[in-house]
Every structure is written in structure tokens, then in C-alpha cells.
Amino acid sequence: MDEKLPAIRSMKRFCVSIIKGVGPLLISQSDKASEAFARHKMRLADVEVCKELLVAEGKGLIEIRTKLLERYFDAPPEDRFFLRRDLDDLDRELRQLSVYQGALKYLPAGTGQGPTEALPPEKEPEEISLAWLDRFNEYARAQNESWRTDLLERALAKEAEHPGSVGPRALWFIGTIEESVFLAFAAVIDTAIRVGPNFLIPEHESHKHKPISTCALNPNLHLGQILFLLHDLGVVSPGETTLSAGSSFDASYGSIQYRLHPNADRNVRALATTSFGNIVASLYEPKKTNSVGEKIFAAWIERLRQLGFGIE
């Protein structure tokens, strides 16, 4: 890729990583996927250009698949085995390409606005490691559920923006967890208060018996049952979170947000996402609020008022 597309250095690092990660780009016969087209277009650090190249690649793969299918039905039995293998490989490549295309919508706003000057080699932006991409591509090629595909798309966009931010453990987690585990974790995040990068459920022990109506796994499951499904996975942990005097931070639930100013160092007992859980949570956008979360948030804010916190 580097030899064929020397102008790639001029692209924003987000698009560089997305394009390089696809692997054998430009295999199709489409004019828009030709090397000459790429050499010209890659000078434009633009997400739309990146999208255009990926779409052209997808069309090329589909054309190849169509030709293989035509040959498959006319082929003798001994040749069908190899054609079937090639078709399966193409299907995996198309699924991977679809994930890469989906990741583009999660790149930061303003990524790649027009031409940029080529950077000297020592100032080139860091890119996603090949080891991470190899493992990512394994998951992207699989027949994934829609929720897992979305997590993979978000993970690729996040890793393209900040290489190393989605570590191998988090990648393995989203690539292999069972749906019940994901839905349980999603229900916890949908119920928790967001405080900076963390998600908290203050005094969670007193709420364990309450059903979480928005839990897609089962709306009758109690919070305690949901937490049991996440036991020993390292994404949430009970403990104390310190709110330091003199600091200011935002606390939000759904569309309601407050700016909090602790009047003294305070330890808040709560179930909280771990640093690993924060990485996974950053790849999931809370979908719904629920009555349990609303009551927990209102009660917690009132408690902080009583303790003398400044709240605005």
C-alpha cells in the first residue's frame, strides 16, 4: 500500500488508518478504484474521498463474486469445492469492508477538510498497529450481529483517532462476548449516571431488587440479576469514588446535566465502570433512560445538595 500510494501521508491519520486497514485495496476493475484515481484523490484528506474509494472497492468485489457464481453453476463437481472456498473468502472480505465503511460515520466531525501538505517522516501521525488490525479484521469478517457490528465500527473509528485507545483486551471483549452479556452491560450503562469518563450507580445495593424496564434481555430482570451476568468480567466494580474539593465536574443522566462543585473531599460509594469498562462503554451510546436511573440520579443530586455541593 505504501509503495502504491506515496501521497497517503498527506491524509488525516483517521483516513490513513481506515484505508490501510482494508488490506488489498484497488483490486477491482472500476475506474474509480484505479491506482491513478487513488494517487490523485488520496491527496485530499477527506472522509468522502475515503468513502468513495471503499464503495468502489466494494463494487469491484461484488462484480468478482457475480462472475464466480456464474462459473460455479456451470463448473464440474470437483471445481465447485474451490469456487465455494473463493466465494466464502469474498463474503468475508465484503463483511470486513462493510465494517470499515460503517466506521467512517463515527470519525470526528471535521476529519479531513480538503488538501493538506505532506508531512516529513518524523512527524507522520501514529497509525493503528498491524497486530491490532489483524485481530480486528478477524472479527470484522465474521457473520456478526448488528450490535456487534456497531461496536466494531466504533472501535475502528476510535482506534483510528487515538491508536492504542482500544486495547487488545477490549477488542477481544467486543469480538467474542455473548449477546446476553452485552445486553446486561448496556442495561447498566442505560441506568448509570455519567460522571466524566465514568458511569456510576450510587448506593447500588439499595436498588438491586428493582427491575430495569429498558433491559433488552428481559424487562423484568432486576438490577442485581443483571449485575450477576457481569460478575468477574472486569467491566464494573463496587467501591468508593472520591470527589475532591476545589474540583468541578459534570454529572448527567439522559438529557439532564449538572455542574457539580464539591465543598470538601467526599467519598461516594457506588458501582462504577472500571478503566477497562470505560473503554467498552465509550463504544456504546446509551439508548434509553429508565425510571430506576431517573430516581437514582434525582436522589443523588438531592443528597449532594444536602452535603453542601455547589450545583448549577
Nearest to 210 by CA among 243, 229, 188, 182: 188
Range of the domain at 304: 179-311
Residue 256 backbone phi and psi in degrees, to 5: -95, 130
Which runs of E-coded beta strand occur in 148-231?
193-195, 198-202
pLDDT (0 to 100) of residue 93: 86
One domain for residues 184 and 248? yes
Q: Which residues pair with 195 in a beta bridge?
A: 198, 251
pLDDT (0 to 100) of residue 128: 81
Query: What is the rounded distance in angstroms from the CA atom of residue 20 to the CA atom of residue 15?
Result: 8
One domain for residues 192 and 260? yes
One domain for residues 49 and 154? yes
One domain for residues 138 and 94? yes
The residue with cell 469498562 is 277
In the chain, which residues have pLDDT < 50? 1-11, 25-37, 40, 42, 44-45, 111-124
One domain for residues 141 and 209? no
pLDDT (0 to 100) of residue 66: 83
The residue with cell 463494487 is 59
Choosing from 176, 195, 228, the residue where a domain stops is: 176
pLDDT (0 to 100) of residue 147: 96
One domain for residues 148 and 282? no
Which helix or strand (DSSP H or E) is residue 238 part of? strand 236-243
Choosing from 176, 191, 221, the residue where a domain stops is: 176
Do you know the residue count of the chain? 312
Q: Encode pLDDT of 91-105 as tens digits.
A: 888 888 889 889 888
One domain for residues 124 and 6? yes
Cell of 58: 466494494
Please compute, for residue 102, the number of CA atoms within 13 A of its CA located in the half-sphere on the CB side.
Answer: 18
One domain for residues 59 and 146? yes
The residue with cell 466465494 is 87
Q: Distances from the Cα of 60 to the Cαs of 9, 67, 97, in angstroms?
A: 25, 11, 12
One domain for residues 29 and 157? yes
One domain for residues 279 and 140? no
One domain for residues 88 and 203? no
Choosing from 145, 176, 207, the residue where a domain stops is: 176
pLDDT (0 to 100) of residue 12: 56
One domain for residues 44 and 125? yes
Task: Give me the number of domains the chain comprises.
Answer: 2
